Structure 1
Amino acid sequence: MESILNVAKHLKENAQSLSNTIVDDIVPTFPHSVSLQEINQAKIVYTEFLQFLGNSLLKTEENVHTELIKWSKKNGELQAALGQPISTVIVRYPSTRSIFIDHLTAVSMAYQLPPLEMINLMKRFNYLLDLSLNEAIFAFERLTEEKFAANRRQINELSAPIVSIQEGIAVLPLIGLIDQERAQYLVEHIVPKIPSLHIETLIVDFSGILMIDNQVADQLLKVSSMLKLLGIAVVSTGIRPQIAQAMIQEGVNLSAIRSYATVRQALEEMNKLKI
């Protein structure tokens, strides 16, 4: 027991110098170059890990698990914030593990750690390292997904602008791929803004759309129905023949919506009706 106490004390007291040595040994084994900033960051991370390992040797697994998850999440989020792919972290683990084990073995032998305690030390190290990798990946994925979600929201906002083209008439140009998420965004965020524009007719222009499925088409029909209840007429323009054919085959009924080939044609017809 005294031997493991000495090893734990050594790891905590010499964490920084040991970390510097380990990083200097690890970096040349990487298949790609590493910046000085990354090297310095790695030394900080490994110093914390060695201190954590030293403290964990005499703690319960539950306490170890809780503290390590918090530490690993921080490192995973840091990696994501740097904009680096998670593969740059994973690819370094095999050589990192091997060199760590070499140094831990040397420390264990210096303090004459019995074989069974040395095995337990290596098991604890591997457990912590694997747990750290898992939690770092989870944190990286979570933060990356949050960034993607924020980008998708911004794309949705920019890809469905409502443009007023003359008194009482506005155009909603649909551009790109209209999937279920974008259709839902239209229903929840775009439609509620339309009444405040004080328009009588909304032209939904499909000329920038290559294809939509029947579920999305149904959502767009719901948009039309909602606007009709608000006293706003909806007309469509720019529906390509292949889109119209696909909608008919899927059983989507567009007969309730007036349709024109172009926005210009729709405006000309509406202006004639006003005369």
Structure 2
Amino acid sequence: MTSINQQLYEYIIENSSTITQKWFNEKSNFSGEFYSNNPNPKIDKILREQHALTIKTIAYAFLEEESTFHEQQLIWADTVAQSRIENNTPIHDVLEALSKTRETIWEYVETFVNKNEDMVTTQNILKWSNVFNAGFDRLLYHFSERYYQLSNSRLTAQQSLILELSTPVIPISEGVAVLPIVGDIDTTRARSLLEIVPQKCSELGINQLFIDVSGVSIVDTMVANEMFNLIKILDLLGMKTNVSGIRPEVAQTSIQLGLDWSGIRTFSSLKQALAITGVNHMR
């Protein structure tokens, strides 16, 4: 004879599409646009498939098969988190939608109880309430954890891209390139200059680099030291380095800070640097 837990599980699975439709009828009231006001039919398809997966996942809780339930939770959390990250859905909107899912599924548990009053005991109801809510809480935990991991990975990738774009080594002729630096240089950006520029120059076969700092408004001791370190690294790699565009106020600040630029070839502008070094004639 099939256990009462198995019967409840099968009832939830058999009514999965009805539960999903009921949830869909309510989603227009959600505050998040991804759920309530999304005209894309592909999104509706995704939501239906993932809602069915949610129902299937939480239904495993009633079977009390811990290993299967845990495995299903991780699959669900990764699937849903990936989808919401890709669609830039705020986590609070997801939690609101899941709260409605929780409510809707439990309504069907109550319906099952009413249809099987002669078989369902108070102890069954209390136990189901416990495993259902504990299971859903774990579901939310795994989702939030995975959502955070994916958000953090995306942010790190974006920051890496921004840093790479902020250090463009631009080849202008055979073995010659320009590195225009624009904006403030903080510790993170200074570190990226040391890591990215020598690698890019090596990959491009650069033997002479023009660093233009006309777009840098502030040069303090840290910035100057990192610039000197970069030039030393490039020199060790056999690359000649020229610095152009040091602004008057930056030059004054450098003198006040006691910074020594005497060992570095400097020019008032990139145009002058290219002209004096003869690079213009090479192009």
For the aligned pair, the TM-score class normalised by the smaller chain equals 0.7 to 0.9
1:29 aligns with 29
- Deviation per CA, 1:182-228, whole angstroms, max 9, x where unpaired? 433433332134355453x4221112234466555433322111122
Partners of 2:55 and 2:86 lie apart in 1 by: 24
**Structure 1 stretches of 5 or more lacking a match?**
none
TM-score under structure 1 length normalisation: 0.78
Aligned partner of 2:84: which letter? Q
SS of the aligned residue for 1:239 comes to coil
Partners of 2:223 and 2:185 lie apart in 1 by: 7
Partners of 1:177 and 1:187 lie apart in 2 by: 16
Partners of 1:183 and 1:216 within 8 A in 2: yes
Q: In structure 2, do the counterparts of structure 1 residues 68 and 209 end up closer, same or farther at CA, with 3 Å as the change threshold? A: same
Aligned partner of 1:96: which letter? T
Greater shift in the superposed pair: 252-261 or 80-89: 252-261
SS of the aligned residue for 1:121 comes to helix
SS of the aligned residue for 2:22 comes to helix
Partners of 1:23 and 1:39 within 8 A in 2: no
**Structure 2 stretches of 5 or more lacking a match?**
279-283
Q: In structure 2, do the counterparts of structure 1 residues 198 and 50 end up closer, same or farther at CA, with 3 Å as the change threshold? A: closer
Partners of 1:174 and 1:209 within 8 A in 2: yes
TM-score under structure 2 length normalisation: 0.76
Partners of 2:74 and 2:142 within 8 A in 1: yes
2:225 aligns with 218
Partners of 2:230 and 2:251 lie apart in 1 by: 18
Partners of 1:22 and 1:103 within 8 A in 2: no
Partners of 1:116 and 1:251 lie apart in 2 by: 81
Matching of residue 12 in structure 1 with residue 17 in structure 2: no
Aligned partner of 1:161: which letter? P
Partners of 2:115 and 2:167 lie apart in 1 by: 68
- Deviation per CA, 1:36-65, whole angstroms, max 9, x where unpaired? 544443332232222233333223435422
Partners of 1:224 and 1:234 within 8 A in 2: yes
What is the aligned-residue identity percentage? 24
Partners of 1:228 and 1:234 within 8 A in 2: yes
Matching of residue 209 in structure 1 with residue 231 in structure 2: no
1:119 aligns with 126
Aligned partner of 1:225: which letter? K
1:66 aligns with 71
Matching of residue 43 in structure 1 with residue 44 in structure 2: no
Greater shift in the superposed pair: 133-142 or 245-254: 245-254
Partners of 2:67 and 2:102 lie apart in 1 by: 23
Q: In structure 2, do the counterparts of structure 1 residues 248 and 67 end up closer, same or farther at CA, with 3 Å as the change threshold? A: farther
Partners of 1:15 and 1:48 within 8 A in 2: no
Matching of residue 263 in structure 1 with residue 264 in structure 2: no
Greater shift in the superposed pair: 212-221 or 125-134: 212-221
Correspondence list, 1:145-224, <5 A: 145-165=152-172, 170-194=177-201, 197=205, 199=207, 201-211=208-218, 215=222, 217-224=224-231
Q: In structure 2, do the counterparts of structure 1 residues 123 and 229 end up closer, same or farther at CA, with 3 Å as the change threshold? A: same
Q: In structure 2, do the counterparts of structure 1 residues 164 and 96 end up closer, same or farther at CA, with 3 Å as the change threshold? A: closer
**Offset of 1:68 from its aligned partner?**
0.5
SS of the aligned residue for 1:84 comes to coil
1:104 aligns with 109
